[in-house]
Chain A
Amino acid sequence: MENFRNFNQISLSLSKGSTSCVDIVNHYLKNIKEKSHLNAFLEVFEKDALDQAKSVDEKLKKGSAGKLAGMVIGIKDVLCYKDHKVQASSKILEGFESQFTSTAVQKLIEEDAVIIGRLNCDEFAMGSSNENSAYGPVLNATDNQRVPGGSSGGCAVAVQANLCTATIGSDTGGSVRQPASFCGVIGLKPTYSRVSRFGLLAYASSFDVIGTFTNNIEDSALILETMAGQDQFDSTVSRNEVPTYSKNLTFEGKAKIGYIKETLNGEGINDEVRDNFLESINRFKAAGHDIEEVSLPLMKYALPTYYILITAEASSNLSRYDGVRYGYRSPNTKDMESLYKKSRSEGFGEEVRRRIMLGTFVLSASYYDAFYTKAQKVRNLIKEQVENLLSRYDFLIMPTSPTTAFKLGEHNQNPLEMYLADLFTVQASVAGIPAISIPNGKDSNGMDFGLQIMANFFEEEKLLAFSNCYLKNEWKI
């Protein structure tokens, strides 16, 4: 059996008739079993995936199959899929089954993608190493002593280890891009509001974006153009027309690129990461693009701004987990108040509890203005500075993460230390712009570097085309 790494290989094989959708699903099921020690999947929908594949094969015979026929997709455990479990890698949603399917997943199914299972992540997507899952950490497939990044660690590893064709996850402050970087795959976070959030378990609603993990840009483009667009169930989703990204993946002409000097001069950036990044700058120069240093003076304030706002939003969003209507209820309750408190304390893990407490603090009457409103104002200034730069440059680039994949247990003693893993990814989330992480070589330990490229609002088409040319090193200048 061929080792299907991307959709193009699958489509070719299907059109030659040398394989079927059922064969492809079986191929991935076998890989998943062989690599179960990676702990990427929380649950494999084996029977449903095979049933879906059978029906796709019938449609293929009749010539009525959708454009994703043969693509096998895994979903992060924060996306609802009707009659399937979803629990955000948390004990508090033990046994919960979705009553409906998220819009993003629904649109993929309508184009005949097969959904193969749900993927491990940090509990409620809170974390940068996938060590906060109630179901154990995910291991990086390149080096099992190292983390895959987070929070969508399972999604990144599933694509890295060839357990499915592509995966979809959520990115609140880097949860798609950072693990993609750690695992040597492509991670795309679209513009805020590009993809409907209906059926995505809410974490920080003004940041949450559904994104993709793939082995090539064609697949990112294809999945995004399928998932994006209007939805009557999400009033914040953009009504802008969705371009057919996959049809236009060649970037023509000279690009004007800015690299942010604060990322290279600041603390915390690993030397090898800096050198790798400087090398990329030279590659862009050699290709003939205009590239220069720019300044984002508010850069260092993005991370604290982010942590104030997301904890505030999370404390509010996670109040729904109360042990009454669904999910875990503590057996040790005696009255209403202890039912809430014990169910939530026993159901939520440590980091989730800490963020809820912090969010409650910054929203409390005495500190609301000093923390929450202040952060919203700084967010406005950061967004303005980023927009200003993107009015003069086509792209902004920086490393995806200040380090490559670190060892399990290396950073989980001190929460602040772990927060720094998002140092370079939060700017795009605070501003709401699209950003992508693409593989960019390996360090002396054999771990992957990621290059992050950002573009202006709704410029995914340009971003994907540019990334595609960089990865293939084919330019039309």
Chain B
Amino acid sequence: MKVDKHTVRKLAHLSRLELREEDEDNMIKDLNEILTWVEQLNEVDTEGVEPLTNMSHEVNVFREDQVGEHLDHEKALKNAPKKDEDFFRVPKFLNQ
């Protein structure tokens, strides 16, 4: 079993998710099932094979570096759940 209680809590923290204690067992079960299933890839011999990292056929697409349109201040703040005239507002996190 790859994922135990300790791992699932660590994963949740890294993912910035909160897992309720009553949901932990289910998540552990699901993740282990899926991971066991994907491990069948170990049957494939990939000795000397390069990992495929780019799906586009385009390489080095250049253009002039020009000032284009940008979002103005008011618009950038428009969708913020909490804001003042100038900034996004978040809880204080320095010198707590």
For residue B38, give the distance in angstroms from its CB to the closest CB of chain A: 4
> Which residues on the A side are within 8 Å of B16 (C-beta)?
319, 322, 337, 340-341, 344
Interface status of B79 (Cβ within 8 A of chain A): yes
Contact indicator per residue, chain B 16-42, by CB within 8 Å of chain A (1) or not (0)? 111100000001001101110111111
Known contacts A374-B42, A378-B41; A193 and B17 CB within 8 A of each other: no
B58 lies within 8 A of A236 (CB): yes
Instruction: Decide if B91 touches A335 in the complex (CB within 8 Å).
Output: yes
Q: How far is B66's CA from A232's CA once the two chains are assembled, in angstroms? A: 12
The answer to whether A239 and B58 have CB atoms under 8 Å apart is yes
A416 / chain B contacts, CB cutoff of 8 Å = 33-34, 37
Per-position binary interface string of chain A over residues 186-203, scored 1 when its CB falls under 8 Å from any chain B CB and 0 otherwise = 000000110000000000
Q: Is A95 an interface residue (CB 8 A)?
A: yes
User: Which among B15, B44, B81 is the interface contact of A329 at CB below 8 angstroms?
Assistant: B81
Residues of A within 8 A of B43 (CB): 301
Partner of A356, one of B17, B37, B46: B17
Q: B6: which A residues are within 8 A, CB to CB?
A: none
CB within 8 Å for A378 and B46 given contacts A192-B56, A341-B16, A415-B34: yes
Neighbouring A residues of B67 by C-beta, 8 Å: none
Give CA–CA (A192, B54) in the complex, Å: 11
Pair count A-B, CB < 8 A: 159
A205-256: which have CB < 8 Å to B? 206-207, 232, 235-240
Complex: chain B residue closest to A341, CB-CB: B18
Query: Which of A159-167, A274-282, A357-365, A397-405 is the contact stretch?
Result: A357-365
Decide: A357 and B51 in contact? CB cutoff 8 A: no
Q: Please, which residues of chain A bring their CB within 8 A of the CB of B8?
A: 357
B residues near A (Cβ < 8 Å) are: 2-3, 7-8, 11-12, 14-19, 27, 30-31, 33-35, 37-44, 46, 49-58, 61, 63, 71, 75, 78-82, 88, 90-93, 96
Residues in chain A within 8 A of chain B (CB atoms): 95-97, 99, 192-193, 206-207, 232, 235-240, 298, 300-301, 304-305, 307-308, 315, 319, 322-329, 333-342, 344-345, 348, 353-354, 356-358, 360-361, 364, 367, 371, 373-381, 383, 414-416, 432, 457
The residues of B that contact A323 with a CB separation of less than 8 Å are 81
A232 to B68, CA, bound (A): 11
A380–B52 contact, CB under 8 A? yes
Of B7, B42, B79, B92, which contacts A325 at CB under 8 A? B79
Residues of A within 8 A of B34 (CB): 307, 358, 415-416
Tell me whether A238 and B58 are in contact in the complex, defined as CB-CB below 8 angstroms, given that A95-B79, A323-B81, A324-B88 are known contacts.
Answer: yes
Chain A contacts for B39, CB-based, 8 A: 304
Contact residues in A for B91 (Cβ distance below 8 Å): 333-336, 339
The residue from B12, B18, B41, B57 contacting A374, defined by CB atoms under 8 A apart: B41
Asked if B56 and A380 make an inter-chain contact with CB atoms under 8 angstroms apart, the answer reads: no
User: Once bound together, how far apart are the Cα atoms of A304 and B38, in whole Å?
Assistant: 5
Instruction: A99-B79, A377-B51 given; name 9 further pairs at CB < 8 Å.
Output: A304-B41, A323-B81, A327-B79, A329-B81, A357-B31, A358-B34, A373-B51, A380-B51, A415-B30
Question: Which chain A residues lie closer than 8 Å to B35 at the CB level?
Answer: 358, 361, 371
Q: Is the beta-carbon distance between A378 and B44 smaller than 8 angstroms?
A: yes
Smallest Cβ-Cβ distance to A369: which chain B residue: B51
Taking CB as reference atom, which chain B residue is nearest A380?
B52
Is there an interface contact between B40 and A335, defined as CB atoms closer than 8 Å?
no
**CA A354 to CA B55, docked complex, whole Å:** 26
Distance in angstroms from B63 CB to nearest chain A CB is: 6
Name the one of A324, A328, A414 contacting B90, with C-beta atoms under 8 angstroms: A324
A325-B88, A335-B93 given; A361·B31 CB < 8 A:
yes
Which residues on B sit within 8 Å (CB–CB) of A327? 79, 81
Q: Which residues of B contact A432 (CB under 8 A)?
A: 55
Write out the residue numbers on chain B whose beta carbons fall within 8 Å of the beta carbon of A99. 71, 75, 78-79
Nearest CB of A to B44, in Å: 5
Residues of chain B lying within 8 A (CB to CB) of residue A95: 79
